[in-house]
Structure 1
Amino acid sequence: MSAPTVEVEELNWRLVEVGRVVLINNKLAAIVDIIDQKRVLVDGPSTDVERQVARLQDIELTFLVLDSVSRGDNSDAVKEAWDASDISSQWASSDWAKDIAQKQRRSELNDFERFQVQLLQKQRSLAIGSAAK
Structure 2
Amino acid sequence: MSFQRFVETGRVAVISDGPHKGKLVSIVDVIDQTRVLVDGPETNVPRGQIRLNQLHLTKFRIKHPFTASTRVVRKAWKDGKITENWQNSVWAKKVAAKQSRALLTDFDRFKLRRARSRRNKIRTSAFLNLRKAASRNGTLFGKKKMAKGGDKPHPKAVKKAEKPAKK
Distance in 1 (alpha carbons) for counterparts of 2:127 and 2:50: 50
Is 1:76 the counterpart of 2:67? The answer is no
Is 1:26 the counterpart of 2:22? The answer is yes
Q: Please say if residues 25 and 43 of structure 2, whose CA atoms lie closer than 8 Å, have aligned partners that are also in contact.
A: no
Q: How many residues align?
A: 123
TM-score, length-scaled by structure 2: 0.70
Secondary structure of the corresponding residue to residue 46 of structure 2: coil
Following TM superposition, by how much is the alpha carbon of 1:80 offset from its aligned partner in structure 2, in angstroms?
0.5
Secondary structure of the corresponding residue to residue 109 of structure 1: coil
Secondary structure of the corresponding residue to residue 50 of structure 1: strand
Is 1:60 the counterpart of 2:56? The answer is yes
For residues 91-123 of structure 1, the C-alpha deviation after alignment (integer angstroms, 9 at most, x for no partner) is 111100000000011111111111122122222
Larger radius of gyration: 2
Sort the Cα spacing of 1:78 and 1:113 in 2 relative to 1 into closer, same or farther, 3 A.
same
Partner of 2:82: 87
Distance in 1 (alpha carbons) for counterparts of 2:30 and 2:76: 18
Is 1:14 the counterpart of 2:5? The answer is yes
Secondary structure of the corresponding residue to residue 113 of structure 1: helix
Q: Which has the higher contact order (CA 8 A, sep 6+)?
A: 1
Matched letter for residue 130 of structure 1:
S
Distance in 2 (alpha carbons) for counterparts of 1:86 and 1:13: 21
Partner of 1:131: 126
Specify every segment of 5 or more residues in structure 2 that has no aligned partner in the other structure, as ranges: 16-20, 129-167
Following TM superposition, by how much is the alpha carbon of 1:48 offset from its aligned partner in structure 2, in angstroms?
2.8
CA RMSD between the two structures: 1.3
Provide the identity percentage. 41
Secondary structure of the corresponding residue to residue 24 of structure 2: strand
Distance in 1 (alpha carbons) for counterparts of 2:56 and 2:91: 12
Partner of 1:98: 93
Partner of 1:111: 106
Is 1:43 the counterpart of 2:39? The answer is yes
Specify every segment of 5 or more residues in structure 1 that has no aligned partner in the other structure, as ranges: 1-9
Matched letter for residue 47 of structure 2:
R
